[in-house]
């Protein structure tokens, strides 16, 4: 293991390049994809690897995302490790197949480069695409930066294919902000990744002539319910598996991941909850505020599905007020999805901090440190006054 | 001095964002001239697709609706059914029309929807950076086929007009090019014929226009037009596939 740690190479890569590198090292048997900004580069780079003979993957440039996901499901069910990647409307166009992949318990791993959904048409980052798919039955892992995208993709293969899990996983990065921004990324050696992910064994592959089978037959009142309950139980079981794989990966890479990441939460009286690249900006603001003597901290959600309810309650156990940041709106009038679910989780907690929701960054609207500072100051106000929480605020929008 | 030509009133004053040598601009102008000559500005509704021409709504001086990638003929169907007296056209690339939207294309044609489709075939997905499209020629390099399209791996170019010509709902169907002044004039005549099919209520009209993408083909504008003439037109012959009396 020490060998693996030493052999890591630091390279400057964009988020998309980091994702494509992970795909190359994972070397799936089949990749089927359709281009969409800002995901395009991942698949394009991958097709270059195919054409240069660096991977033995079958690459199919299909006619739409609906077909891309269908082909990926077909390949994975047939017994191949299969992947695709998408963004925004591409993910929306996969909708039908997302539910089918999860319902069939097909362990696909898919990078998603977050981009706003139409309409109005927009190519920049927000989380409306993956948040819209939050109840499709997929595990969702959000990455803060290129390094996390790389690390999460490699772990996702093991999590998805674990016999206790067998669920598809989407691993996200923020469009343009991370997908097209260049950072230092520590890369494991090809062979180390290959050994880590191992061989793909779908437990029920096709062409096992001793055991002919049908994948996805009709079930009605008789068995549909049991299938769905099993699916929910697999999602529940994935929590333990995600932890085990994170520990395995930490031994290999020196990088430890959890469901949530607490940043300077020790002694914090108020905090923000974020996911994605904004965590990076928020950490910078926390550092500044801490220097000024403020008692603030940050909780980053890495795994959104399964939702880390208990982990969040623990992280927020000593907090008086929390600002929960959403880069998408649910239009439920109850705030964004991160807000609604965090609040629901806190209902079970012994400490119930005051909560406020910040909807921010829609359609790629920049989230500057000054805006995050403003949010922190408002949350501090909530923590130190008699004001009641629960409101929904919009950060950085024109009135 | 007598003014003999000018910018068609069916185009706004906004300068095109297209790359130098891209023929999207010429095709916009032809559509605008046809709209103007047929006096359609008051009743024309255009559907902008997703592709390099996504900003078509900024250029055509009429009502425009932005459709999701590939869905333009279905959106056009809805508009035309709601406003049967309007004039409805879509403006779509080959990725939009022949790839993700091929089902909408075929079914709008098959239903004989009384709409006009302007189909710009530049043999790649221009907007997303030159990936292989269904129309990419065998041997043609693209960013997803860096060694050239290999028919055994990637299949063959999709001949949209040849496929649609068997459908009785199609009133007018032609493939043209804009690689020379004579061809540009022929393209304009085809567009006006397709317009006429809709105006007379005869049925679905589609004009496929072979177009250049110098940027993604890595050719200068002149060489790109030669590629249209020599390579693309060999695979996609220029002809009128269906006409009416
Ligand atoms: C559902 C969906 N998938 C993918 C995309 C990304 N996308 C935008 S334009 C385009 C291809 C456009 O190519 P084409 O229609 O040939 O037009 P051109 O840009 O060449 O004029 C793609 C794949 C999208 N916007 N929506
Ligand atoms: S990328 Fe190609 S199709 Fe798009 S504007 Fe440039 S030349 Fe035209």
Residue A45 belongs to a domain with what CATH number? 3.40.50.970
DSSP structure string for A170-236: EEEEETTTTTS-EEEEEE--HHHHHHHH-----SS-TT-TTS---SS----TTTHHHHHHHHHHHHH
In whole numbers, what is the pLDDT of chain B averaged over residues?
97
A20 CB within 8 Å of a chain B CB:
no
The last residue of one of the domains, among A253, A277, A304, is A253
Query: Helix and strand tally (H, E) in chain A?
Result: 14, 15
Range of the domain at A66: 2-191+220-253
- Judge if A151 and A121 occupy the same domain: yes
Q: Which of A279, A348, A273 is nearest to A310 (CA)?
A: A348
Give the distance from residue B13's alpha carbon to the nearest chain A alpha carbon, in angstroms. 23
Answer yes or no: do A89 and B69 touch at CB < 8 A: yes
Task: With beta carbons less than 8 A apart as the criterion, state whether A51 and A61 touch.
Answer: no
Q: Quote the number of domains for chain A.
A: 2
Q: Rounded to 5 degrees, what angle do the CA atoms B133, B134, B136 make?
A: 65
Contacting residues of A for B149, CB less than 8 Å apart:
none
A48 CB within 8 Å of a chain B CB:
yes
Q: Where are the domains of chain B?
A: 24-242
- Partner residue opposite B128 with nearest CB, options A40, A59, A93: A40
What is the edge-to-edge ordering of all strands in the sheet holding B63-66? B63-66, B44-48, B87-93, B116-121, B204-210, B170-177, B239-242
The last residue of one of the domains, among A212, A238, A253, is A253
**Strand pairing report for A303-305 and A139-142:** antiparallel
CATH number of the CATH domain containing A333: 3.40.50.920
Rounded Cα–Cα distance for residues A391 and A58 (Å): 50
- Partner residue opposite A121 with nearest CB, options B54, B134, B154: B54
- Judge if A141 and A11 occupy the same domain: yes
The DSSP call for residue B236 is S
CA torsion, ordered B238, B241, B244, B245, to nearest 10 deg: 70
Q: Is B51 in the pocket of ligand 1 (CB under 6 A)?
A: yes
- Judge if A306 and A235 occupy the same domain: no
pLDDT band at B36 (very low <50, low <70, confident <90, very high): very high
In sequence order, the 6+-apart residues with CB closer than 8 A to the CB of A42 are A16, A19, A20, A23, A85, A111, A113
Question: What is the average per-residue pLDDT within B228-239?
Answer: 98
pLDDT for the residue numbered A196: 98
- Judge if A101 and A156 occupy the same domain: yes
Cα→Cα distances A359→A290, A337, A365, Å: 24, 10, 11
- Give me the sign of the Cα torsion angle B213, B217, B220, B226: negative
- Judge if A98 and A229 occupy the same domain: yes
pLDDT for the residue numbered A3: 58
- Judge if A79 and A145 occupy the same domain: yes
DSSP structure string for B105-173: HHHHHHTT-S-EEEEEE-SEETTTTSEE-TTPPTT--BTTBTT---HHHH-----HHHHHTT-TTEEEE
Rounded Cα–Cα distance for residues A274 and A20 (Å): 26
Beta strands in chain A (DSSP E): 9-14, 30-33, 58-61, 82-83, 109-114, 139-142, 169-174, 182-187, 260-263, 270-274, 296-301, 303-305, 321-326, 354-360, 392-395
- Judge if A76 and A95 occupy the same domain: yes
One pLDDT digit (tens) per residue for chain A, 399 residues: 455 666 889 999 999 999 999 999 999 999 999 999 999 999 999 999 999 999 999 999 999 999 999 999 999 999 999 999 999 999 999 999 999 999 999 999 999 999 999 999 999 999 999 999 999 999 999 999 999 999 999 999 999 999 999 999 999 999 999 999 999 999 999 999 999 999 998 888 888 889 999 999 999 999 999 999 999 999 999 999 999 999 999 999 999 999 999 999 999 999 999 999 999 999 999 999 999 999 999 999 999 999 999 999 999 999 999 999 999 999 999 999 999 999 999 999 999 999 999 999 999 999 999 999 999 999 999 999 999 988 999 999 999
Question: What is the average per-residue pLDDT within B119-128?
Answer: 98
pLDDT band at B5 (very low <50, low <70, confident <90, very high): confident
pLDDT for the residue numbered A208: 86
Q: Domain for residue A104, yes or no?
A: yes
pLDDT for the residue numbered A6: 67
A1 CB within 8 Å of a chain B CB:
no
Cα–ligand 2 centroid distance for B20 (angstroms): 8
Q: Is B235 in the pocket of ligand 1 (CB under 6 A)?
A: no
Mutate to test the interface with B, among A30, A31, A35, A67 (most CBs of B within 10 A): A35
- Partner residue opposite B129 with nearest CB, options A44, A59, A93: A44
Beta strands in A294-391 (DSSP E): 296-301, 303-305, 321-326, 354-360
Rounded Cα–Cα distance for residues B66 and A122 (Å): 12
Annotate A125-144 with b (16+ C-beta within 10 A) or e (fewer): bbbbbbbbbbebbbbbbbbb
- Judge if A295 and A380 occupy the same domain: yes
Answer yes or no: do A34 and B99 touch at CB < 8 A: yes
Contacting residues of A for B50, CB less than 8 Å apart:
121
Q: Which of A19, A26, A28, A21 is nearest to A196 (CA)?
A: A26
Rounded Cα–Cα distance for residues A265 and A271 (Å): 8
Query: Helix and strand tally (H, E) in chain B?
Result: 11, 9
- Judge if A143 and A288 occupy the same domain: no
**Strand pairing report for A169-174 and A139-142:** parallel
Domain B24-242 belongs to what topology? Rossmann fold (3.40.50)
Q: Domain for residue A196, yes or no?
A: no
Rounded Cα–Cα distance for residues A306 and A239 (Å): 7
CA torsion, ordered A148, A151, A157, A163, to nearest 10 deg: -100
Rounded Cα–Cα distance for residues A175 and A315 (Å): 28
Mutate to test the interface with A, among B52, B144, B147 (most CBs of A within 10 A): B144
Cα–ligand 2 centroid distance for B54 (angstroms): 11
Q: Which of B119, B126, B127, B191 is nearest to B158 (CA)?
A: B119
Closest residue in A to B71 (Cα–Cα): A93
Q: Is B179 in the pocket of ligand 2 (CB under 6 A)?
A: no
Q: Is B215 in the pocket of ligand 2 (CB under 6 A)?
A: yes
Q: Domain for residue A205, yes or no?
A: no
Q: Is B95 in the pocket of ligand 1 (CB under 6 A)?
A: yes
Q: Is B94 in the pocket of ligand 1 (CB under 6 A)?
A: yes
Cα–ligand 1 centroid distance for A90 (angstroms): 10
- Around Cβ B4, how many Cβ atoms within 10 Å? 5
Q: Domain for residue A30, yes or no?
A: yes
In sequence order, the 6+-apart residues with CB closer than 8 A to the CB of B166 are none
pLDDT for the residue numbered A214: 92
Q: Is A139 in the pocket of ligand 1 (CB under 6 A)?
A: no
- Judge if A241 and A272 occupy the same domain: no
Rounded Cα–Cα distance for residues B59 and A234 (Å): 52
State which ligand 2 atom lies nearest to the alpha carbon of B52: 4
- Judge if A151 and A96 occupy the same domain: yes
pLDDT for the residue numbered A7: 81
Cα–ligand 1 centroid distance for B125 (angstroms): 6
Residue A142: beta bridge partners?
A172
Q: Domain for residue A152, yes or no?
A: yes
Tokens at A199, concatenated: 């061989």
Q: Whose CA is nearest to atom 2 of ligand 1?
A: A90
* Residue numbers of A between 337 and 396 with CB closer than 8 Å to B: none
**Strand pairing report for A296-301 and A260-263:** antiparallel
The last residue of one of the domains, among A236, A253, A270, is A253
- Judge if A376 and A237 occupy the same domain: no
pLDDT for the residue numbered A204: 85
């Amino acid at each position: 293991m020490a060998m693996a740690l030493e052999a890591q190479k630091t390279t400057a890569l964009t988020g998309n390049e980091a994702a494509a590198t992970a795909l190359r090292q994972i070397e799936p048997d089949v990749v089927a994809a359709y281009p969409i900004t800002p995901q395009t580069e991942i698949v394009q780079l991958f097709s270059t690897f195919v054409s240069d003979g660096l991977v033995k993957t079958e690459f199919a440039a299909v006619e739409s995302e609906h077909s891309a996901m269908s082909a990926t499901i077909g390949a994975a069910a047939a017994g191949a490790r299969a992947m695709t990647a998408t963004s925004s409307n591409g993910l929306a166009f996969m909708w039908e197949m997302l539910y089918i992949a999860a319902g069939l318990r097909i362990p696909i791993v898919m990078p998603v480069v977050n981009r706003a959904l139409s309409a109005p048409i927009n190519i920049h980052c927000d989380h409306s695409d993956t948040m819209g798919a939050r109840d499709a039955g997929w595990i969702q892992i959000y990455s803060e930066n290129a390094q996390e995208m790389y690390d999460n993709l490699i772990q996702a293969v093991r999590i998805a294919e674990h016999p206790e899990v067998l669920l598809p996983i989407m691993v996200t990065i923020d469009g343009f902000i991370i997908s097209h921004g260049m950072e230092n990324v520590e890369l494991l050696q090809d062979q180390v990744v290959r050994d880590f992910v191992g061989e793909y064994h779908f437990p029920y592959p096709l062409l096992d002539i001793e055991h002919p089978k049908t994948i996805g037959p009709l079930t009605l009142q008789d068995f549909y319910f049991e299938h769905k309950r099993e699916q929910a139980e697999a999602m529940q079981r994935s929590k333990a598996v995600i932890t085990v794989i994170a520990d395995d990966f930490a031994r290999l890479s020196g990088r430890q991941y959890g469901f949530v990441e607490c940043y300077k939460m020790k002694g914090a009286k108020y905090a923000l909850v974020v996911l994605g690249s904004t965590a990076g900006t928020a950490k910078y603001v926390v550092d500044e505020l801490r220097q000024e003597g403020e008692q603030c901290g940050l909780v980053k959600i890495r795994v959104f599905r399964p939702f880390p309810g208990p982990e969040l309650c623990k992280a927020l156990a000593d907090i008086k007020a929390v600002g929960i940041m959403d880069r998408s709106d649910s239009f439920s009038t109850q705030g964004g999805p991160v807000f609604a679910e965090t609040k629901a989780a806190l209902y079970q907690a012994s400490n119930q901090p005051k909560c406020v929701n910040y909807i921010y960054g829609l359609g790629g609207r920049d989230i500057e440190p000054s805006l995050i500072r403003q949010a922190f100051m408002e949350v501090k106000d909530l923590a130190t006054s008699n004001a009641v929480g629960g409101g929904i605020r919009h950060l950085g929008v024109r009135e | 001095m007598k003014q003999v030509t000018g910018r068609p009133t069916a185009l706004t004053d906004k300068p095109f964002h297209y790359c130098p040598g891209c023929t999207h601009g010429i095709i916009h102008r032809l559509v605008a001239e046809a709209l103007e000559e047929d006096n359609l500005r008051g009743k024309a509704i255009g559907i902008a697709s997703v592709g390099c021409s996504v900003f078509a709504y900024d250029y055509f001086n009429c009502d425009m609706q932005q459709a999701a990638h590939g869905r333009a003929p279905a959106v056009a169907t809805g508009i035309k059914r709601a406003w049967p007296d309007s004039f409805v056209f879509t403006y779509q690339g080959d990725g939009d029309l022949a790839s993700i939207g091929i089902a909408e294309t075929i079914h709008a044609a098959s239903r004989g929807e009384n709409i006009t489709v302007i189909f710009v075939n530049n043999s790649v997905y221009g907007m997303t950076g030159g990936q292989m499209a269904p129309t990419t020629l065998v041997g043609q390099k693209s960013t997803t086929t860096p060694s050239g399209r290999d028919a055994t791996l990637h299949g063959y170019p999709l001949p949209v007009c040849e496929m649609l010509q068997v459908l009785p709902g199609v009133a007018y169907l032609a493939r043209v090019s804009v690689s020379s002044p004579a061809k540009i004039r022929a393209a304009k005549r085809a567009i006006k014929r397709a317009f006429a099919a809709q105006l007379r209520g005869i049925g679905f009209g589609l004009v496929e226009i072979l177009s250049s993408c110098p940027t993604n083909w890595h050719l200068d504008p002149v060489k790109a037009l030669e590629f249209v003439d020599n390579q693309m037109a060999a695979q996609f012959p220029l002809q009128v596939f269906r006409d009416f009396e």
